[in-house]
Amino acid sequence: MKRMAATELSKSMNEFLTKLQDDLKEAINTMMCTKCEGKHKRFEMEREPGEARFCAECSKWHSAEEGDLWAESSMLGLRITYFAFMDGKVFDITEWAGCQHISISPDTHRVPYHISFGSKGSSGTSGTSPFLQTHIACHITSLLALKVAAEPVEPAATGNRSFPRLMIHKATF
């Protein structure tokens, strides 16, 4: 009987940890949207920061820095894809940029926009952006409330903060 209970507990714990891992992966690759109040997926690209942005003027790849937002064209200019350098990686953020109604000339030499993370009282103390820190904390809190608590946990009771706002501003040179 004890062995059966231990096996059942182990199985439940494995399911919980698998769900937690899946939810964290989703949280890390999701951007909150101030326009539609929803979430949009971001897709990590296999690009090095030193060769992240294509420039049509130079016909070569330029480096990107944290917060850079740019566009690139494909299919003879019929398709525009939006990219951002966040958390030390290049992401395709076309879905989010479309919802924001961002219009950027593609394949430019200079970075046209920067994304900054702004929120009341958020400060990035570690190497992770405030956006990612808060986003992960919110998902963990939600997951734990669903899995552990008998009743839903109110955000105020968990110390949960609102998501930081993503702010876009023209690059200054």
CA-CA distance, 112 to 30, in Å (whole number)? 23
Give the DSSP letter of residue 88.
Answer: T
pLDDT in tens, 9-61: 888 888 888 888 888 877 778 888 888 888 899 999 999 999 999 999 999 99
Mean pLDDT for all residues in the chain: 76
CB burial of 28-38 (b: ≥16 within 10 Å; e: otherwise) equals eebbbbeeeee
pTM: 0.61
CA 77, distance to chain mean position in Å, is: 27
